[in-house]
Structure 1
Amino acid sequence: MEDTDEKAVPLLQEKTELQQHVLTEGLTMNVFACEFFEGLVAKGLFAVIALFFLESLHYDENTATELVHLFMFTSSFSSIVGAVISDGYIGHYKTTLSFFSLQLCGLTLLCTATLLDMNWRRPLSFAALFLSGIGGGGRPAFLTFGCDQVMWSVCRKAASNLESGESRADLMARSQGTASRQYFSSMYMFKKTGYAVGALLNPAIRVRSGGTFFYVFLLCACAKATGILIFWSGRQHYQFEKPDLDGDSDERDDLLKNDGQNSTDRNARSDLRKTQAVLRSWENMKSVISALLVLAPLIFFTALDLQVGSTWIFQARIMNCTISWLGNYTVPPDQMPVLTEILDVLVVPLVHMVIYPFVDKYVTRLTDLRKILGSFICVTGAFVMSGTLQIAIDTDRKKTSSGFSDVSIQWQFPQYVAMAMAVAMNVIARTDFAYHEAPKSMKTAVNAVIESFAGIGNGLIIVILLSLGPNASKVVTMYVFAGVGALGSVVMAFCSEMYVPRSMRKR
């Protein structure tokens, strides 16, 4: 865990045997393959959803943007429902299958809606998107289930790597910390690869099919079904455990051991166990509250991250989309987010192998929270660049009467680079931080609340757009978003310095 007094270790410099173990186990390959298709579905859907509201359902830009964020809001908060069901009732595996299947039903219904006239298309589209949004609630259970498999498998094999003078507890901490970082980094890479494929294929399919959205949503439905099948097919490799509602099993074993040493009376032991359970539950709750409070600024980050699929696409629609050095190739505006996904995959090795080691050695000791702070700085810079670009676009549009600008779409590239850096720093660090800071019985719940931050962020964007009004300048809107990022940076800086990690509080 990096938010301790342990030095941050670059991803590819960690123990080779552990890295190979995490990436080559049969159970992880099923999870990683499923994550690829999840990414294809998610980005394929989000890459065109704004244009679907705009062109197929005939809403204006502001309404389309608000509807996109409303859909994301539903998807984010459904994670809490999924976490309650997963941790309290049926477990991570069954929750994942159930919610993913519900999302598949929504995508299938969405395909059907595109074939109907407007009287049926709108209500069925909203019903389908609602089912798809609710189905997204299985994602925290999916992430936790995958990491639990890795943790269980690493612990089982770590004894063979026990070094001289190293206790088993130290080995477990080192092995699990290494494995979790590798797991979340690998999941991120597979997801972003799926994102890139989906964001590239779906707009291209829509253009080739004459602007219809049927084949786009059909591809999403087929990809979702394939991912579910791959995840289900790995069931023989999985280690199934019921949700632990009483706290961390290691802590419970230690308490019971001490219990037997300090009391011989059965009733006294029973009373002591009850008292310990209450204290343990209270400590777990404090850990959860502390972790969620320190991650609360993520609300600002998720709000800005999602603008790539709406505000930036709308900006690209009035730019010159022809790139001369690519043989006068015309880039569809809704293909621009593909840049983010491609860059996300490329910058992960750069961040882990170059930037993190340099900062950790020459600037400051890196923790997960400081990595998140770096992501806030990058996302703020991205919106400063987009606002400056919008000034140039508006200035150029005044010279013409067509409503379009001659400013090349290539000038959006720097803001996409900054956003890719921000996302790469943020997602892996916050997921690893949440997994290790949450008690065993509440890992899915913490991940679900973090997912719900995106919903709150969407609500924040809707409030900002409504406050600015439909006639607000796009320049003003961009710089307001940059101000939101700056505010998040200040709050995150304070939180990263004040937070005391769970492992240090136990000492």
Structure 2
Amino acid sequence: MSIPEEEVALLQDLVHDSVDHRGNPAGRSSTGGWRSASLIIGVEVAERFAYVGIACNMITYLTEQLGQSTANAAVNVNTWAGTASTLPIIGAFVADAYLGRYRTILVSSLIYILGLGLLTLSAILTLMGSSENRKPSFLMNVLFFCSLYLVAIAQGGHKPCVQAFGADQFDSDHPKERIARGSFFNWWFLCLSGGIVISILVVVYIQSNVNWALGFGIPCLFMVMALAIFFLGRKTYRYPKENRDKNNNGFVRIGRVFVVAFKNRKQMSLKHSGQLEFLAKAMLSGEGVEPCSNMDVEDAKGLIMLIPIWITSMMSMIPYAQYSTLFTKQGVTVDRIILPGLEIPPASFLSLVSISVLISVPIYEHVFLPIARKITKKPNGITMLQRIGTGMVLTCFNMVLAALVEAKRLRIAEEHGLIDKPDVTIPMSIWWFVPQYMLVGMIEVFGLVGAQEFFYDQVPTELRSIGLAFSLSSLGLSNFLSGLFIIVVDWATGRYGGRSWFNNNLNRAHIDYFYWLLAASTAIAFFAFVFISRSYVYRRADQVQ
């Protein structure tokens, strides 16, 4: 009995494992695709505008308004940024196991708005009570940091879910939509960079030249706009099917695997050299009480194989934390006049990172990928791991470049007798810092975007928010490690009356030595990454190296 052509066409138009806002099977032509993804990208652009508006100039606020030292301010910024980038692991778990991505985004957005509102209130009260001889009170500091960490909590739910939800709008089983999903990660990052550029140029200028309260209030308004845009698009989205079978939930399935692994740990450690193979046989045969399917085993083995990649990528991202802290503090000391009568805040140079992304993404999509596809004969041009590795090489090179530029800055300060005059502008143009900022943008296009696509793609479908949280957490933990490095180096070089590499007088500091240290650590992480990735097995045959 043949199926009517109308029913065949209807079945072909349905998207596997997705539903519409009413819970019905999602139609390919009526939901998802670039139409829905564009709305979600718009939401993230507004969120990035809000986040960057408070993050990029935070070290200036801490040192000038709250009276903190350079080292303490850098550690506080790194700790907060690290928390904001690590909490997505929890947010992703809540989304994938309980609330779903859509509802998690709604709740997180409301917390975001609350945090930004309280942050604005904190700035208003601090400005009202500030004077030349008086620092903000203890309660003002408490309100400020509570507000700041509310934003971090909100981002923990918002960040992994929005990007995963955007990628969900493309069907990985459909050839054209799968290619479009790969492009989605690139264009996602390009659009975010546009929002970041505007935020840096507008919000930083307002913070530096008008007042901090307005500089924090504008990001709050943008977050309200983000929530409104996201809610209005609800009827066009594709929603992943919720797994009603609790015994077949992604967390439960993989949990069974690790339970069996724990019960067989003695046999594995004492009798078997091929432990993963033994574990697979034990699970499939039902040994250890709980039998597991072949898919359960493969998913669990895949997650285990991601851990070394995650660790090495995290180590290589430590230098990334410096561009919003130490790069900015260096910029304060040099000539920032870019046109006659126009002096820009040092944090405004962060916009060069986003400008670099705006330039690099089209070149990557329309020049690099076509050439790579002709050479490798692969739809994606290069593998995701090759893309991440390229980002690592660029990171190492950037730290070398940053060290050389800082050494030149110190040499000019010495030549002009400004070593002990930290408040005097060094006759060196801030344009010397342009190459290292531009390289950061290229690093993001290769390393960060590559890692986001890799960790989204290489986990089970039900756990893709968790996959993106893996990527974000590596960046977050790298911020913590950066703060730890600074603390250790500050202690080691400043003890016994020595001059710390992070001396408050940057003309007597040696940040260039710190950059050389980061270049060396990144090189070590890269060689470890290459060794590990050579044995990595992709989930699909079309992704192999």
- What TM-score, normalized by structure 1, do the two folds share? 0.81
Q: Corresponding residue for 1:122?
A: 141
Change in Cα spacing, 1:90 to 1:363, as seen in structure 2 (3 Å) is closer
Q: Residues of 1 paired with 2:543 and 2:486: CA distance?
A: 45
Give the deviation of 1:484 after TM superposition. 2.4
What SS does the aligned partner of 2:57 have? helix
Change in Cα spacing, 1:446 to 1:243, as seen in structure 2 (3 Å) is farther
User: Could you list the per-position Cα deviations for residues 140-190 of structure 1 after superposition, in whole angstroms to 9, with x for gaps in the alignment?
Assistant: 112111211232xxx7xxxxxxxxxxxxxxxx3523420211221221112
Q: Residues of 2 paired with 1:445 and 1:463: CA distance?
A: 26
Q: Residues of 1 paired with 2:294 and 2:477: CA distance?
A: 32
What SS does the aligned partner of 2:428 have? coil
Give the deviation of 1:238 after TM superposition. 2.0
Q: Corresponding residue for 1:97?
A: 106
What SS does the aligned partner of 2:96 have? helix
User: Could you list the per-position Cα deviations for residues 322-342 of structure 1 after superposition, in whole angstroms to 9, with x for gaps in the alignment?
Assistant: 23xx33531211111011111
Q: Residues of 2 paired with 1:359 and 1:178: CA distance?
A: 15
Change in Cα spacing, 1:207 to 1:331, as seen in structure 2 (3 Å) is same
> 1:247 touches 1:284 (CA, 8 Å); kept in 2?
no
Change in Cα spacing, 1:89 to 1:247, as seen in structure 2 (3 Å) is closer
Q: Residues of 2 paired with 1:387 and 1:31: CA distance?
A: 39
Q: Corresponding residue for 1:106?
A: 115
Q: Corresponding residue for 1:340?
A: 353
Query: Equivalent residues in 2 for 1:109-188 (5 A)?
Result: 109-116=118-125, 117=129, 118-119=136-137, 120-138=139-157, 139-151=159-171, 172=173, 174-188=175-189
Q: Corresponding residue for 1:30?
A: 39
Give the deviation of 1:242 after TM superposition. 4.8
What SS does the aligned partner of 1:400 have? coil
> 2:316 touches 2:395 (CA, 8 Å); kept in 1?
yes
> 1:91 touches 1:242 (CA, 8 Å); kept in 2?
no
Query: Equivalent residues in 2 for 1:77-476 (5 A)?
Result: 77-116=86-125, 117=129, 118-119=136-137, 120-138=139-157, 139-151=159-171, 172=173, 174-209=175-210, 212-244=211-243, 246=248, 277-323=292-338, 326-359=339-372, 361=374, 366-398=382-414, 399-401=416-418, 402-403=421-422, 404-469=425-490, 471-472=500-501, 473-476=510-513
What SS does the aligned partner of 1:59 have? coil
Q: Residues of 1 paired with 2:34 and 2:238: CA distance?
A: 16
What SS does the aligned partner of 2:169 have? helix
What SS does the aligned partner of 2:334 have? coil
What SS does the aligned partner of 2:236 have? coil
Q: Corresponding residue for 2:505?
A: none
> 1:87 touches 1:243 (CA, 8 Å); kept in 2?
no
Give the deviation of 1:438 after TM superposition. 0.8
Give the deviation of 1:28 after TM superposition. 1.9
The farther-off stretch of 392-401 and 291-300 is: 291-300
Give the deviation of 1:371 after TM superposition. 0.9
User: Could you list the per-position Cα deviations for residues 479-498 of structure 1 after superposition, in whole angstroms to 9, with x for gaps in the alignment?
Assistant: 11222222222222223322
Change in Cα spacing, 1:124 to 1:317, as seen in structure 2 (3 Å) is same
User: Could you list the per-position Cα deviations for residues 181-240 of structure 1 after superposition, in whole angstroms to 9, with x for gaps in the alignment?
Assistant: 12212211121111111111111112331xx31111101111111101111111111233
Letter in structure 1 aligned against 2:394 = C
Identical-residue share of aligned pairs (%): 20
What SS does the aligned partner of 2:239 have? coil
Q: Corresponding residue for 2:268?
A: none
What SS does the aligned partner of 2:335 have? coil
Letter in structure 2 aligned against 1:495 = I
User: Could you list the per-position Cα deviations for residues 446-469 of structure 1 after superposition, in whole angstroms to 9, with x for gaps in the alignment?
Assistant: 211221112211121112111211
Change in Cα spacing, 1:347 to 1:198, as seen in structure 2 (3 Å) is same
What SS does the aligned partner of 1:406 have? strand
Letter in structure 2 aligned against 1:149 = Q
> 1:140 touches 1:447 (CA, 8 Å); kept in 2?
yes
Unpaired runs of 5+ residues, structure 1, are: 1-17, 156-171, 252-270
Unpaired runs of 5+ residues, structure 2, are: 1-27, 130-135, 254-285, 495-499, 502-509
Give the deviation of 1:72 after TM superposition. 1.2
> 1:72 touches 1:454 (CA, 8 Å); kept in 2?
no
Q: Residues of 1 paired with 2:190 and 2:105: CA distance?
A: 20
Greater helix content: 1
Q: Corresponding residue for 1:57?
A: 66
Q: Residues of 2 paired with 1:75 and 1:344: CA distance?
A: 22
> 2:455 touches 2:467 (CA, 8 Å); kept in 1?
yes
User: Could you list the per-position Cα deviations for residues 239-295 of structure 1 after superposition, in whole angstroms to 9, with x for gaps in the alignment?
Assistant: 3345446368xx9xxxxxxxxxxxxxxxxxxx9xx9775543332122122234323
Radius of gyration: which is bigger?
A: 2
> 1:38 touches 1:227 (CA, 8 Å); kept in 2?
yes
Q: 1:71 aligns with which of 64, 80, 104?
A: 80
More relative contact order in 1 or in 2 (CA 8 Å, sep 6+)? 1
Q: Residues of 1 paired with 2:319 and 2:92: CA distance?
A: 25
The farther-off stretch of 354-363 and 338-347 is: 354-363
Q: Residues of 2 paired with 1:394 and 1:388: CA distance?
A: 10
Q: Residues of 1 paired with 2:542 and 2:182: CA distance?
A: 22
Letter in structure 2 aligned against 1:289 = I
> 1:48 touches 1:202 (CA, 8 Å); kept in 2?
no
Q: Residues of 2 paired with 1:301 and 1:216: CA distance?
A: 32
- What TM-score, normalized by structure 2, do the two folds share? 0.76
Q: Corresponding residue for 1:9?
A: none
Letter in structure 2 aligned against 1:346 = I
> 1:379 touches 1:422 (CA, 8 Å); kept in 2?
yes
Q: Residues of 2 paired with 1:328 and 1:498: CA distance?
A: 57
Q: Residues of 2 paired with 1:241 and 1:40: CA distance?
A: 28
Q: Corresponding residue for 2:276?
A: none
Give the deviation of 1:417 after TM superposition. 1.9
Give the deviation of 1:34 after TM superposition. 0.4
Give the deviation of 1:506 after TM superposition. 12
